[in-house]
Structure formats: C-alpha cells, structure tokens
Amino acid sequence: MPLQGNLNEFSLSQIFQLISLAGKTGSLTVSSKGAEGKIYFREGRVFFAITPQNRIPLGTRLIDAGLISQDDLKEALLCQQEQPEKRLGEILISRGMKKDVLEQFIKEQIEDALFEIFDWKEGSYYFETENIPEEEDIGIYMSVEDILAEATKRQEEWKKIKEVLPSLDTMVQMSEAPGKSNEDIIIKPQEWKVLYLLDKKRSVKDLKDKSHLTSLSLCRILVRMLSNGLLEIVAPKAKEQAMESSGANKAKRYQSTEPITGKYIKNYREESRQNMPLEWASYYARLNEIAHQLMVKRDGEKN
C-alpha cells in the first residue's frame, strides 16, 4: 500500500519520521498550490531534494558555487562511466576536493530545498520506491533528526528576518553611500550576484525570481547587505514614485482618446522616442502603419 495523503492530516515532520523509521528508499513528492517538490531517500536518509526554485543539476551548482570547474565535472563524470560503482562525491574527493567542503555544500542545498517545502502547510504527498536519480546520489546523506532540527532553527531565523523584511513585496535598492562604518566590506559571490541584479529598485520577490535563490538564502543576503549599508529599503512613498516612472506608467502618457489619424498621430511623430519604452514605441509604430494604410485607402476611395 503506497504512502500517500493530505498535509492537513499528517505534517511533513511526521511523514519524514515514518520513512526514516521504516528505512525506506524512494522519492517523496509533495504538491501545494501548483508547486511540486521531491525529496529522495536512501534507507531512511535524505540524499537529494528538488523544489521549483532548485532544479539545476548538482554538478552545475557546484560549478556555479566555484567549488569545481567545468573540466573537473567533465573528467569526474567520465571517470564515473569507467567506475559506475563509485558515487560522484567519492570521485570528486579522490580528485582533490575536500570532503568536509563537499558535505557542507550538499547539506546546505538539501536544507534550502527542504525549508521551502516545509513552508507548505496545504497540499498532498505521495511516496514511491522507484524513480531514484542515481546521478544525484553522491554518497552524502542527512538524517531526518538533523533535518527536523535544522527546520526548527530556520523557522526562528525567519522570524528575525521578517523584522527587517516584512514581506517579499518589500522594495530594496543600492545605497548612494555604502557602508556605515570604517571597516572594509567583504562581498561574497552570491552577494555580487544580487548586487548585479539591483540595477534599479526591485522587490524581494523580483530578486528571488531572477536570482533563483530560495527565499531564505536571498533574505539572508539582503539583511546582511542592509546591515552594512550596501542596500537600503525603499520607503512606500518612494516606491510609488518608482512605479510612476516605470514603463507601464510612462505608457499612459502616450495613450489617447483621439482617432487613429489626425492629432494623435502628429503628437506621436513629434514625441521624443528616447523617453518612450521600447515596447510602446513598437506598439505605436504599428498604429502609425495602420493609420497610414487607412489614409491611403481613403484617398484611393475619394479618387
């Protein structure tokens, strides 16, 4: 009989404990509000997890984190083809990667994914003993006890984060004068990624979508950069002003109740295109083309 049901009946903590006690190997699929996450177990321990925000292959994530190079991964995969009995983690370690560094990275990846799934309070779950992604099992596992302890710890951390960033709609921007102390500011690789995306005022949700970081990972970065003065929160009034200057609101200035010919077209031709959003310039250019066709047709009918 398959293990399946509704999250209203059993919590994820209870489901994890049941799989752990039974020493099961398989995949747990959790669905909630159109999103789906998968957690993979081997003999009751977790070795991998996927969420909507974390679907990049493990090897690619190791490269993105700067832990290995593209050539390192290629050579390790070729080695694994010759020695299929070995896990990718074993091969990477044998080729010089530090075991504790790899273990810490894998644990953080699993914890980030699981924290996102643990935040789902409604939905369904289904456990099956097939469809195990062997390529993602690199031989590093986490016990359910450690996972549940970390989940509790992160929930407390999230409460503190919300005191600084109340919601994902909070707008942030780069500070004009970074740094609130004389100390040097050290920027980590993922923080550079966030700063690169802050070419303008953005909401936390927008940054999350563009950076592909989990909510917790991103908010940790934002809180740190807010504390050292690299970033600042956009006040509600400034937020409205930012929206007024956005492309959608600029477009309103070009909308008109005039007919497609006459003053409307004249105004468009005289308008500086530098101030017009590209998509709206293209839209109005199309209107002009239609207007021109109509005028040609009318002139032809008159003649």
Residue 274 banded pLDDT, cuts 50, 70, 90? very low
Return d(Cα 206, Cα 213) in angstroms, integer. 11
* pTM, two decimal places: 0.59
Predicted confidence (pLDDT) per residue in 1-29, tens digit: 568 899 888 888 899 999 999 999 999 99
Alpha carbon separation from 120 to 31, 219, 224 (Å, rounded): 9, 18, 26
Beta strands in 152-286 (DSSP E): 171-174, 202-203, 231-233
47-61, 87-101, 125-139, 249-263: least confidently modelled range: 249-263
**Which pLDDT score, from 0 to 100, does residue 180 have?**
55
Return d(Cα 232, Cα 235) in angstroms, integer. 9
Strand partners, 26: 41
First-to-final CA distance of the chain: 82
69 pLDDT above the threshold of 90: no
Return d(Cα 96, Cα 99) in angstroms, integer. 9
Question: In which element (H, E) is residue 263 found?
Answer: helix 263-270
